[in-house]
Amino acid sequence: KILIIGACGQIGTELTTKLRETYGTNNVIASDINTRNLDLVNSGPFEIIDAKNFNAIKDCCKNYNIDTIYLMAALLSATGEKYPMEAWDLNMNSLFHVLNLAKGGTIKRVYWPSSIAVFGPTTPRENTPQHTICEPTTVYGITKQVGERWCEYYHNKYGVDVRSLRYPGIISYKAMPGGGTTDYAVEIYHDAIIKGKYECFLSENTSLPMMFMDDAIKATIDLMEAPSENISIRSSYNLSALSFTPNDVFESIKAHMPSFKINYKPDFRQAIADSWPSSIDDRKAREDWNWKHSYDLDAMTEVMLKELHNKYKNI
Ligand code: VAH
């Protein structure tokens, strides 16, 4: 059985739904620190778990006979800069708890997300390689870089089957993102419909690696289902689909909504975005477990606007 920690988050919400469709609702236990997503809480087995509490995770695994954990709880890049010690505490201790349960044999397989935030201003920005300089400038990025090292260590030293992806910015319509630097790429679609205009906190030519949620979920489950012997990267795989700028998204939306307006007011998140790559080389993921993305920017824009029109017309 599967336990998802952080199931109410942006990725956790959709991962829970997809895993339940794939493996059966009662085989996927969702958990989070609170019940902020009631649809999810009422859609199948749900437990309140603080990801920093080892015994709470351990007891849940015993009660439900869990053998796989997806650890999706974290404080993201922008929030982590406001609360650095909380970000270190949650992001690192939750990982140690899950890795130690796996080391002890309770858990057979672990998924833990990393991020393009492991890269920094000294990393080659174009087509960033799988193995390269990583000097992250955010607390979140530091936790992901160090977390990758611990995942590889637990695999090599204790045989823990932990797998990981360096997610780019992820765009979705079901749950809002939780305090990231790439959140503009979600907010812009909501504001296009609600307000007909958007004030962007990044500058218009800031190119960042991005991905539609359906592609991110597919990559996550494909990686977890791949035979262990195919997995050659036990830190975290580079993963890429698109790269675009706020201006690209604006133009893509304007093709559907000609009166849509944008203005740019970069804030503290601009410096974070400037420290990240603009495109990623994900050949290892494509070679090892046949990764390939499906959604390009215009296909993503079509889905986002259609689904959000439906969501807001009922309000
Ligand atoms: C963030 N959305 O902005 C997250 C992600 C690629 C960035 O890790 O912090």
Residue nearest to atom 1 of ligand 1 (CA): 180
How high is the pLDDT of residue 106? 84
pLDDT along the chain (315 residues), means of 10: 96 96 98 93 96 98 98 96 98 98 94 98 98 98 98 98 98 90 97 97 98 98 98 98 97 98 97 97 98 97 97 83
116 CA: nearest ligand 1 atom: 6
Residue 138 CB contacts under 8 Å (≥ 6 apart), including other chains: 77, 80, 81, 117, 272, 275
Cα separation, 113 vs 312, in Å, equals 31
| pTM (two decimals) | 0.96
Give whole-number Cα distances, 250 to 146, 238, 276, 309, in Å. 36, 27, 21, 17
- Ligand 1 center to 229 CA (angstroms): 29
Residue nearest to atom 3 of ligand 1 (CA): 180
Active site positions, annotated = 140
How high is the pLDDT of residue 192? 97
Question: Which residues surround ligand 1 with Cβ inside 6 Å?
Answer: 76-77, 115-117, 140, 167-169, 177, 180-182
For this complex, say whether ipTM is above 0.90. yes
What interhelical angle do 297-313 and 246-254 show, nearest 10?
A: 60
Q: Residue 279 class from Cβ within 10 Å (0-12 exposed, 13-18 middle, 19+ buried)? A: middle
- What is the secondary structure of 41-78 as a DSSP string? HTTS-EEE--TT-HHHHHHHHHHHT--EEEE-----HH
pLDDT digits (tens, 9 = 90+) for 161-188: 999 999 999 999 998 888 899 999 999 9
- Ligand 1 center to 278 CA (angstroms): 13
Q: Ramachandran region of residue 297, left (φ > 0), alpha (ψ -120 to 50) or beta?
A: alpha
Cα separation, 119 vs 133, in Å, equals 7
- Ligand 1 center to 183 CA (angstroms): 8
Residue 14 CB contacts under 8 Å (≥ 6 apart), including other chains: 172, 174, 175, 213, 217
